[in-house]
Each structure stands twice: as structure tokens, then as C-alpha cells.
């Protein structure tokens, strides 16, 4: 079954005759007749009743007409989708760590959706490692993470730089190094969070080993 056959069949139905369909499609009537007969042979049923020199669509033809319209519509849509000048369309699966998903992405995704409404956005949150694994396994098209990505199968680009700020009671006094926190309770997000890893490196740089209390949410 070829798209040309389906288009000829639908054009005959739309115009009411093979002769008029031939004019629309810029071909000879005998070509349309032969292609429709080949289509009927493949389907194993008559799509038209032949009445002298005229045609009348059969019940099977009425059923096939519905599918013919869908197939031609999908074919045209597929051509537009893969055309070099076509606007982006289809699903786009993005992963992001929780902080980026809540603080940075909402306005960015809203602008993207307004510009490319045919793209279906799907956002998944998780840890950096989870998101990288999902991208490698093709469950995500890309991910926004806060860890240094050095995996040969992935391309990376820097999007933004973040500053981590330590918040403490004013009574604690100036905090110039990690040693100023000796004996104090430190609260941070759970292990696996890149921000916690940065805090741990800062503490270890000054030889501090005090425990960190995990908190669940951003």
C-alpha cells in the first residue's frame, strides 16, 4: 500500500470521478484506475461500485476513507516534523536537581513552551547521579545537575554558577574558616546532594570532621 494510491483514492472520492481526480493530481485517468485496482486487490475488497462510466463508493470504501484521511494527515505531519525549517515538536524529557527545578526552571520552561508550543515538556527531578544515569539510558534527553560531568558518552555545557552561603546566628560571630564552626551543629541536605559534597570538602580542607545533620527538603 502506497501513499500515492491512498491519495488517489481520496481525491476520487472528493472530486466524484476519476477524470476530475486526474486533473487535480496532474496525471492520466488510466494511471489512477490502475493504482486504485491494485489497492483494492491488496485490501481484498472493492472500494467503489462501478456504474457504467461512473463510480460510487462502497461500504468498505467508506470505512477505508476514514483511515485514508488519517494516514495522509500523518504523512503530511511527518514531512513537516522532519523538515529542516520545521519548528521543534514532540516530547522533550528534561531532568533537573530539585533546586534548579524549583528556583530556575519554571520561568525558563514557561518561555520555552510559549515559543515552541508543539513541544511536550516532561520534567523529572532526582539526584545528579540518578539524572546522569537516566540520560545515559536514554530515559531523559538531558539533565541539569550540579556535579562535574566527565562521561565519554555525554556532552556538557555550563549553564550558571551558584554561590553557597552559610547562615548562622549573629551571636556566633564572624565565620572566616571552617574551624570557626568547631563544636557547632551543621544542617545540610542528605548525602548525594552536590551542595553537601561541597560543604564536606570545605570542612575537610580545614581538618574539620564534625557530623552534619541531614534535612529532607530544599
Architecture of the domain delimited by 3-82: Orthogonal Bundle (1.10)
* Nearest to 33, CA basis, from 74, 5, 60: 5
Mean pLDDT of 49-70: 90
Read off the pLDDT of residues 74-83 as tens digits, 9 standing for 90 and up.
998 888 777 7
Question: Which of the pair, 80 or 96, is modelled with greater confidence?
Answer: 96
CA distance 127 to 110: 23
Q: Report the percentage of the chain scoring pLDDT > 70.
A: 99
Q: Which residue has the higher pLDDT, 215 or 59?
A: 59
Residue 218 has pLDDT above 60, yes or no: no
Question: Taking the CB of residue 71, how many other CB atoms lie within 10 A of it?
Answer: 16
C-alpha span between 48 and 42 (Å, rounded): 14
Taking the domain 90-144, which CATH number applies? Answer: 3.40.190.10
State the chain's mean pLDDT as an integer: 88
Q: Which three cell numbers stand for residue 25?
A: 493530481
- The whole-angstrom separation of Cα 152 and Cα 212 is 33
pTM above 0.75, yes or no: no
Residue 217 has pLDDT above 90, yes or no: no
Cell digits of residue 107: 520561568
Residue 98 to residue 107: CA distance in whole angstroms: 15
Q: Which of 67-71, 169-173, 175-179 has the highest mean pLDDT?
A: 67-71
pLDDT bracket for residue 53 (50, 70, 90): confident
Has residue 144 got a pLDDT over 80?
A: yes
Whether 69 has a pLDDT exceeding 70, the answer reads yes
* Residue 48 scores a pLDDT above 70: yes
The residues, any chain, with a CB within 8 Å of residue 155's CB and separated by 6 or more, are none
pLDDT by residue (tens digit) across 187-206? Answer: 988 887 888 888 998 898 88
**Per-residue pLDDT at 2:** 93
Using a pLDDT cut of 90, give the percent of the chain over it: 46
9-23, 131-145, 172-186: least confident range: 172-186
Domains of the chain: which residue ranges? 3-82, 90-144, 170-214
Amino acid at each position: 500500500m502506497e501513499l500515492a494510491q491512498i491519495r488517489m483514492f481520496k481525491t476520487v472520492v472528493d472530486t466524484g470521478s476519476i477524470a476530475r481526480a486526474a486533473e487535480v493530481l496532474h496525471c492520466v485517468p488510466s494511471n489512477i484506475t490502475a493504482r486504485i485496482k491494485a489497492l483494492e486487490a491488496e485490501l481484498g475488497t472493492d472500494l467503489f461500485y462501478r456504474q457504467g462510466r461512473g463510480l460510487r463508493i462502497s461500504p468498505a470504501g467508506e470505512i477505508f476513507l476514514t483511515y485514508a484521511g488519517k494516514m495522509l494527515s500523518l504523512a503530511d505531519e511527518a514531512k513537516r516534523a522532519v523538515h529542516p525549517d520545521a519548528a521543534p515538536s514532540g516530547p522533550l524529557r528534561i531532568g533537573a536537581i530539585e533546586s534548579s527545578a524549583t528556583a530556575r526552571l519554571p520561568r525558563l520552561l514557561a518561555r520555552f513552551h510559549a515559543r515552541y508550543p508543539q513541544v511536550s515538556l516532561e520534567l523529572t527531578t532526582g539526584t545528579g547521579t540518578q539524572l546522569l544515569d537516566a540520560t545515559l539510558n536514554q530515559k531523559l534527553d538531558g539533565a541539569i545537575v550540579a556535579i562535574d560531568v566527565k562521561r565519554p558518552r555525554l556532552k556538557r555545557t555550563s549553564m550558571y554558577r551558584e554561590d553557597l552561603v552559610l547562615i548562622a546566628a549573629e551571636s556566633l560571630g564572624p565565620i572566616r574558616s571552617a574551624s570557626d564552626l568547631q563544636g557547632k551543629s551543621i544542617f545540610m541536605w542528605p548525602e548525594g546532594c552536590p551542595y553537601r559534597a561541597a560543604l564536606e570538602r570545605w570542612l575537610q580542607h580545614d581538618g574539620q570532621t564534625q557530623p552534619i545533620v541531614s534535612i529532607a527538603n530544599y
